[in-house]
Amino acid sequence: MKRREFLEKVGYGAAGFVAAPLAQESKEKTQTPPKRRRYKIEVEVFEGPKSRCHKVGDKFVFPQDRGKMCTWLLSTLDPVVTALASGGTLPWMYEGTPYEKVIDPDGITTEFVRCPDPTDAGIVVKITRTLIS
């Protein structure tokens, strides 16, 4: 049952008055959404001791290489990678440290994440987001 028919049956005499503005609003909202940007996400072990799982210089492509990453690292990456893959950035910059970021919405953006492994095997990874299209 259409909205107008429903309103007439339940006794709203102004069904035409109510439905007309809604129809106009829906026409206005049918604009084409902006094209979603696509990114390549790469993860590189940036610093830390040789751990049980990874060593400095190891590189992974996200999400294709998820099965190659330690579960501690993977759980840490998930929210950050989700934000980056959606076009977002995290607000902190770490200026003056080795973890200083690059934020370029039309190119390459970097982020750093420390693995929460409670042993002395904790590592820091550099996440690089590159705009594909």
pLDDT digits (tens, 9 = 90+) for 98-111: 999 988 878 889 99
Nearest alpha carbon to residue 101 among 114, 110, 113, 92: 110
- The string of pLDDT tens digits covering residues 25-59 is 555 667 787 788 899 999 999 988 766 778 899 99
Neighbours of 45 (CB within 10 A): 22
pTM score, whole prediction: 0.70
Q: What is the pLDDT of residue 26?
A: 58
Distance between CA atoms of 128 and 49, rounded to whole angstroms?
Answer: 21
64 pLDDT band, cuts 50/70/90, is very high
Cα separation values, 103 from 41, 43, 56, 86, 90, Å? 14, 16, 23, 14, 9
Predicted pLDDT of residue 105: 78
